[in-house]
Every structure is written in structure tokens, then in C-alpha cells.
Amino acid sequence: MAGKKPIRSESLMTRAAAHLRLADPVSDEPSADPDQLLTRVGRGDEQAFAALYDLLGASVYGLARRVVRDPARAEEISQEVFIQVWRSAARFDTSRGSARGWVLTLAHRRAVDAVRHDQAATNRENRYDWSSGPAFDQVEETVSTTLEHEQVRRCLDGLTELQREAVNLAYYNGHTYAEVAEVLDTNPATIKTRIRDGLVRLRDCMGVPA
């Protein structure tokens, strides 16, 4: 990275910066964790922002894509999320949660809001040919490459069918639990319970601390 920088005459400054870098193991480490990067983003550090994007961009985009389906819309949402991260980074309190969790929560909310907003705004008179897009199962396959996905899938497989359906429809399709109840023809109170049971089971299966 340093090789691309234009040559400057302030060698003293450069040496001072190099010294600081040694003293501060966080700065410019490609493996820096999102919490540390976000703190730096809050101070206006554009390099930290780029590094944070490199760490979380695929998760944000993939999640948005799963929820809204449309790649252009998913890209738009990813952009909004990262601009929001840039703007609000200084207000993020690392004692209240992880930067990763915060960014992905923002992304999920944006994606779900987009789906619901579109539902309210449009009611087009189209006929939809289902065979024109990839089937549900195929969408699953294209993203099943990572180890992470394998573990999540294994844990999802460990749920009861109703728990799994409820979690999938709510989280990945952006349905409210009341809508999930309608799709699954089940009492809304039952769906709330199944979502909770399902999440607790997933948490334990994934080894997330309670």
C-alpha cells in the first residue's frame, strides 16, 4: 500500500508515523477486528472504513440479497448501510455489542424495511412465471460454500420443521411473525414461541454464549 503513495518530502513525519504504527498494533493491521476498525471509523479514518467494508461487505450484501432477492436492490441497501455506518460510527458503543452484530442488524432492518415498503407501494398487475427464476433450493445451493453456512445449516436441520420454517420465513423472507402464522396456518402465539425455541436451539447449537 505504501508503495503506491506519492513520494513526499516530510520524512520526519513518515518516520514518526512508522513509529506510531509500531506502538499501536491496531493501526493498519489487515486482520484488525471490526470493533477496533469501527472505533477508528468513528474518528474519520477512511482506511479503517475500507478495511471494515472488506471484512463485512460480503455478509451485508449476501444478507440483503437473500432478503430482497434483487441484486440491484441489495447493492443499494448495502450502500445505505455502509454510509450509515460511516456517519454513525462515533455513536456506536462497543460495550453494548459487537460492531459486526451492529452492522448486520442495520443491514437486516434495511432489507426487511425495503421489502415491506415495496409491498405497500406497489401492487403491479403482473403474472409471475415461477420457472423464470432460480428455485428456492437453488438459491440455497449457491451460498452453501462456506464453512459457516454448513454449520448454520446443520443447526437449522436440528430444529423441528415448524421452528425452522418460522425462523426462515421471518429472518430470510422478511415476514412478520403474524404473516408467518398465516403462511404456516398456525396460531400467532405458537409462532412466537416456535421462533423463540428455534433461536435458543440455534444459539446453543452454534455455541453462542447465552
Partner 1 sequence: MSTDVHSLLAPYVLDALDPEERNQFEAHLEQCPDCRTELGGLQATATRLAESQSQAPPAELRQRLLTAIGTTPQERPVVTAMSQRGGLRRRLPQLVAAAALVLAAAGGTGYFVEHNRADEQHDQNVAIRAVLGAPDADTKALNLPNGGTVRLITSESRDSAVVVARELPALDEGKVYQVWLIKKSAAESQGTFSRSGEMVMKDLADVDQVAVTVEPSGGSKKPTTAPVVDVPV
Which positions from 111 through 150 interact with partner 1, judged by CB under 8 A?
112-113, 115-116, 118-119, 122-133, 135-138, 142-143, 146, 148-149
**Helix axis angle, 188-206 relative to 147-157, nearest 10°?**
130
Residue number with CB closer to partner 1 (16 or 117): 117
Nearest distance from C-beta of residue 166 to partner 1, angstroms: 9
Q: Is 40 in the site for partner 1 (CB under 8 A)?
A: no
Window of 2-10, 11-19, 20-28, 181-189 that interacts with partner 1 by CB under 8 A: 181-189
Distance CA 200, CA 210 (A): 8
Distance CA 172, CA 183 (A): 14
Window of 8-16, 21-29, 178-186 that interacts with partner 1 by CB under 8 A: 178-186
Q: Is 109 in the site for partner 1 (CB under 8 A)?
A: yes
Distance CA 196, CA 108 (A): 18
Window of 1-9, 10-18, 24-32, 76-84 that interacts with partner 1 by CB under 8 A: 76-84
Q: Is 5 in the site for partner 1 (CB under 8 A)?
A: no
Binding residues for partner 1, rule CB under 8 A, total: 109
CA dist 126 → 109, 117, 123, 136 (Å): 27, 18, 9, 20
Query: Restricting to residues 82-101, which ones interact with partner 1 according to CB under 8 A?
Result: 82-84, 86-93, 96-98, 100-101
Give the burial class of 191: count Cβ atoms within 10 A of its Cβ; 0-12 exposed, 13-18 middle, 19 or more buried: buried
Distance CA 140, CA 149 (A): 10
Q: Is 18 in the site for partner 1 (CB under 8 A)?
A: no
C-alpha cell at 91: 455513536
Q: Report DSSP letters for 3-15, one per residue.
A: GGSPP-S-HHHHH
Q: Which of 11, 58, 158, 160 contacts partner 1 by CB under 8 A? A: 58
Distance CA 63, CA 112 (A): 10
Query: Restricting to residues 152-171, which ones interact with partner 1 according to CB under 8 A?
Result: 152-153, 161, 165, 167, 170-171
